[in-house]
Structure 1
Amino acid sequence: MKYSLKIIFGKEEVDKFISNIPLTKDELEINVKEFSFETELELIAFKKGINEAIGWQELYLLDND
């Protein structure tokens, strides 16, 4: 079984969605991304990472290798 998650990116688009204002076709194509995962654990880990990043304007992944 595959797991998936859709995310809306962009302050204006998120505000519209929360206010029940439909996004335009262009907004949907540009600002909505779908991610797929092989396991539920991968999905949960991804959600945790996304939730930790909310509110930050910029980030850089440091590689531990």
Structure 2
Amino acid sequence: MAHALSLWNRTDDAMAALLEAETIAPEQVRHHYLSRQLTMSWIRRQKGKPSCQLAALARRLHIV
């Protein structure tokens, strides 16, 4: 779901879906290729510093 929302440029909704999935199955989200790719792409799209929520997600996924 998060991937589809991200493709439609609904990044906030996509991040909310990914965070909700993380509350249900944190290990799955942390180790899944697609969740890591989505988070990296959202960070790359940001101009300047990423939001606190996005930065925290990236830390939990061990991206940054």
TM-score, normalised via structure 2 length: 0.28
Q: Which structure features the higher share of strand residues?
A: 1
Q: Which structure features the higher share of helix residues?
A: 2
Q: Radius of gyration: which is bigger?
A: 1
